[in-house]
């Protein structure tokens, strides 16, 4: 491997930019300092310049929804245990995580390493906070965040996987989690899991207000029940002035509403600045293009990767963009650019990342892909040739 | 690359077999000659032995449905042209293929190379036969088949993309195609495209009988119309004694029937020995487990790869098995083995391949995957380390 990890790179020669232009990209101190027309004669390639040979250069991919604490990566293969309801799956997960033996820090680190090789530079991970596990998972992920601070940006959401108002002591645990370093407050099916939408949202938004943090809430509840909760989240977001800082993850119900219900719900989300995260599931899902037409920010995440919820996943956000694109019938070049945006710009916006992009001054968190352009990268998710974080190599294929 | 292409391999050390056992796999003259317990001390690795270090060894993957003549691979990226009906898409395709400039042989070869790197050892390709293109595509793919004869097994289906009874001269062209070397006769939506189910099926099954070839028919028609055509195909298959030699590709309608309609249709397919091919589409699809419970053989294919029909696809049949698995909720280890079977044993059966598998005497068409077992291979479709065809290297990762 000609480019050992942590090598600082000063110059990326002959990159294809997302808009199709070719450019040499100059880097210094972890930032993009200039984009210039490719030099007619390439300068000699030294340790700090890499010739991309026309490969596509993207800002590092953003995985807007992972569960680093849940993965079985780093442990021997765990066969999936069946279970159809959310409560059954939560119970199966508690059983499995007691038996697995390999500590969270080790498993989460294995997944973080995988994300990096896929070109992901920033991720938002939910972390279980429940009466059983307490803050143990959070402390483990805080350690992982520190361990990877030079290679992967990590946001942590305090996630009440066992419910909020129906789980003894959880509101207090969530409060402690935010004091201990969690970046956002999460939630779970206020109606479907807790049976008390107002009660759960009182706690969640109360904590958001008290700690000045954003919200990222899991919502699997279907149809009109789900839509009513989306509108309730929008109303609370507007009331607290949390525009741009609240996400509802999954929101399958948006794929099940009639035109009137969809329109009024999308309008409420757009008006309040509530974002929607999807992983392109097999069943009903939020319609990406329709939501964007209504002004709703939609972004992408892997969700579970090889854990008690399902055995699938490899953390590839280009593949994820393609999965969502196939589900939402994104076919033209413009639509494939939109699919990429779900895992780049839109996700960066939802996460509130600053200095994200390919402009002068932006952070040199970059990924080079073996593709001639964005449409091909989404349609075929080819190899990642080189991944930089703050201008340093964090992953390099053998022959970049 | 330590293993140049076409190197014959005599011994694969320390493979993990699909059932989880570890074994050394001995090869000679393109066949598996023995499976032995891994030697306690590995013999020195020479040019003809490869240490797999516990990597999963599978029989080469089988892509049961591709369109080698349609792909834009090998040509510059072609933006997708919208078009919603089958007729509109056929017309867009004719326009594009006139403009693309790069000959079919070159584009099909580029796709064949890609399939090989993904571990595919055998593929069934449809090839357009229509009044516009005549037999040109067939002659090109016959040349490609010859060019790749030592690296990839290819079956060719004479495919009337422009219809049969509504397209002037096509029945005669199909007859010529079979005489020129096509292996099977195809068809297209007898009701939805030709508007004459009996008329199209008379031609298709008449040619099958006359030439003693199998049938592989595209069927996109929905609901009860689709189901009636499936039952008609089953009846004709039984009448001609074509048990095991007839496939219906896509058959979306099987995902739309009520229990009674599904049961009677599945029973007809199973009774006549008609197989069903799916690529795990976004909309309604054949339910894999339910069909298998009824005794219907289901297998997998890529379908279009970067062509006028859609820009997606990379020919990875492990990823395809995972896509189908996610759509059909295949989660347990046993179900993930079933998902793999769609792209290995079941597909080999549908294609009528002999000597396929991992038993002594089987052809040494093999792929080593960077996975600890079959469930992981399907769930994450990791790297292909080594691909052999008839015992010779056709692809090797840099560090197998």
How far apart, in whole angstroms, are the C-alpha atoms of residue A273 and residue B117? 45
The Cβ of residue A312 has, within 10 Å, a number of other Cβ atoms equal to 24
Report the pLDDT averaged over residues A239-243: 97
Residue A2's pLDDT is what?
65
A310 touches chain B (CB under 8 A): yes
Strand order in the sheet with B274-278: B61-66, B120-128, B153-159, B184-188, B214-219, B246-250, B274-278, B298-300
In whole angstroms, give the CA distance from residue A240 to residue B338: 50
pLDDT at B396: 95
Q: In the prediction, which pLDDT does A377 show?
A: 98
For residue A42, the model assigns a pLDDT of 60
Nearest to A312 among B80, B322, B398 (CB): B322
A222: helix, coil or strand? coil
Spell out the per-residue pLDDT of chain B, length 400, in tens. Answer: 468 889 999 999 999 999 999 999 999 999 999 999 998 766 655 558 999 999 999 999 999 999 999 999 999 999 998 877 878 888 888 888 888 889 999 999 999 999 999 999 999 999 999 999 999 999 999 999 999 999 999 999 999 999 999 999 999 999 999 999 999 999 999 999 999 999 999 999 999 999 999 999 999 999 999 999 999 999 999 999 999 999 999 999 999 999 999 999 999 999 999 999 999 999 999 999 999 999 999 999 999 999 999 999 999 999 999 999 999 999 999 999 999 999 999 999 999 999 999 999 999 999 999 999 999 999 999 999 999 999 999 999 975 4
Assign A47 a pLDDT band (cuts: 50, 70, 90): low
pLDDT band with cut points at 50, 70 and 90 for residue A83: confident
Joined together, the tokens standing for residue A113 give: 């390493």
Measured between beta carbons, the chain A residues lying within 8 angstroms of B306 are 376, 379-380
Residue A177's H or E segment, with its range, is: helix A170-180
pLDDT tier, A87 (very low <50, low <70, confident <90, very high otherwise): confident
- Residue B42: per-residue pLDDT: 60
Question: When comparing pLDDT for A17 and A98, which is higher?
Answer: A17
The verdict on B82 touching A (C-beta cutoff 8 Å) is: yes
Structural tokens at position A237: 């977001």
Contact state of A77 with B373 under an 8 Å Cβ cutoff: yes
Number of Cβ within 10 Å of residue B113's Cβ equals: 17
- The single-letter DSSP state of residue B317 is H
Residue A88 has a pLDDT of 85
**Residues A312-322, mean pLDDT to the nearest whole number:** 98
Specify the 3-state DSSP secondary structure of A277.
strand
Position A40 scores a pLDDT of 75
Mean pLDDT for A7-32 is 97
pLDDT the model gives residue B99 = 87
Tens digit of pLDDT for each residue in A170-190?
999 999 999 999 999 999 999
* ipTM of the complex in this document: 0.95
Chain B nearest CA to A53, separation (Å): 16
| pLDDT band, very low/low/confident/very high, at A1 (cuts 50, 70, 90) | very low
> What pLDDT, on a 0 to 100 scale, did the predictor assign at position A46?
57
> Do A76 and B376 count as a contact with CB atoms less than 8 A apart?
no
What tokens appear for B168 in the block?
A: 């002037």
Are A385 and A369 contacting, i.e. CB atoms less than 8 angstroms apart? Answer: yes
3-state percent helix, strand, coil for chain A, nearest multiple of 5: 35, 25, 40
Confidence (pLDDT) at B44: 58
User: Where does the pLDDT of residue A4 fall: very low under 50, low under 70, confident under 90, or very high at 90 and above?
Assistant: confident
Q: In this predicted model, what pLDDT tens digit does every residue of A342-370 receive, in sequence order?
A: 999 999 999 999 999 999 999 999 999 99
The verdict on B88 touching A (C-beta cutoff 8 Å) is: no
User: Domains in chain A, ordered, with CATH?
Assistant: 11-60+356-396 (2.30.40.10), 61-351 (3.20.20.140)
pLDDT computed for residue B162 by the predictor: 94
DSSP for B333-365, written as a single string: HHHHHHHHHHTTHHHHHHHT-SS-SSSTTSB--
CB contacts, 8 Å: B279 with chain A: none
Average the pLDDT over A74-103 and give the result.
87
Shortest CA gap A296–chain B (Å): 23
Grade residue A43 by pLDDT with cuts at 50, 70 and 90. low
Which residues of chain B are within 8 Å of residue A306 when distances are taken between CB atoms? 376, 379-380
B322 touches chain A (CB under 8 A): yes
- Residue found under tokens 């589900």: A327
Nearest to A66, CA basis, from A306, A296, A344, A243:
A306
Task: Say if CB B305 and CB B68 are below 8 A apart.
Answer: no
Pairing of strands B11-16, B120-128: unpaired
- For residue A384, CA distances in Å to A278, A285, A309, A331, B29 come to 23, 28, 27, 23, 37
Residue A203: pLDDT above 80? yes
Q: What is the pLDDT of residue B305?
A: 98
Asked whether the beta carbons of residue A79 and residue B332 sit closer than 8 angstroms, the reply is: yes
Indicate whether A400 pLDDT > 50. Answer: no
CB-CB contact of A265 with A229 (8 Å): no
Number of H helices, E strands in chain A: 12, 16
């Amino acid at each position: 491997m000609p480019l050992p990890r942590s090598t600082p790179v000063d110059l990326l020669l002959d990159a294809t930019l997302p808009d199709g232009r070719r450019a040499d990209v100059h880097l210094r101190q972890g930032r993009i300092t200039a984009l210039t027309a490719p030099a007619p004669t390439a300068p000699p390639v030294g340790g700090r310049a890499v010739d991309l040979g026309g490969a596509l250069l993207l800002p590092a991919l953003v995985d807007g929804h992972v569960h680093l604490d849940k993965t079985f990566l780093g442990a021997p293969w765990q066969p999936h245990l069946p279970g159809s309801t959310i409560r059954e799956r939560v119970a199966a997960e508690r059983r499995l995580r007691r038996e697995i033996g390999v500590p969270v820090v080790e498993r989460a680190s294995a997944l973080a390493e995988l994300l990096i090789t896929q070109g992901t530079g920033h991720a938002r991970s939910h972390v279980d906070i429940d009466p059983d596990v307490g803050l143990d998972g959070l402390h483990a992920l805080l350690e992982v965040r520190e361990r990877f601070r030079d290679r992967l940006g990590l946001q942590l959401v305090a996630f009440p996987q066992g419910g909020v108002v129906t789980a003894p002591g959880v509101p207090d645990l969530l409060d402690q989690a935010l004091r201990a370093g969690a970046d956002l407050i999460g939630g779970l099916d206020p109606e479907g899991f807790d049976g008390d939408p107002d009660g759960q949202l009182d706690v969640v938004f109360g904590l958001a207000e008290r700690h000045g943090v954003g919200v990222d809430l899991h919502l699997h509840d279907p149809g009109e029940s789900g839509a009513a909760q989306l509108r309730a989240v929008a109303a609370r977001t507007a009331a607290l002035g949390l525009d741009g800082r609240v996400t509802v993850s999954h929101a399958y119900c948006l794929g099940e509403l009639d035109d009137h219900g969809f329109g009024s719900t999308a309008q409420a989300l757009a008006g309040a600045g509530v974002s929607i995260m999807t992983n392109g599931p097999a069943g009903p899902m939020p319609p990406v293009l329709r939501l964007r037409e209504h002004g709703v920010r939609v972004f992408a995440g892997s969700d579970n990767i090889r854990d008690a919820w399902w055995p699938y996943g490899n953390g590839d956000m280009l593949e994820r963009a393609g999965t969502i694109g196939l589900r939402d019938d994104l076919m033209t070049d413009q639509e494939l650019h939109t699919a990429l945006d779900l895992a780049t710009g839109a996700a960066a916006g939802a996460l509130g990342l600053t200095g994200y992009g390919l402009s002068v001054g932006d952070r040199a968190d970059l990924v080079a892909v073996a593709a001639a352009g964005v449409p091909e990268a989404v349609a075929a998710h080819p190899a990642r040739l080189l991944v930089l974080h703050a201008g340093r190599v964090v992953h390099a294929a053998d022959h970049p």
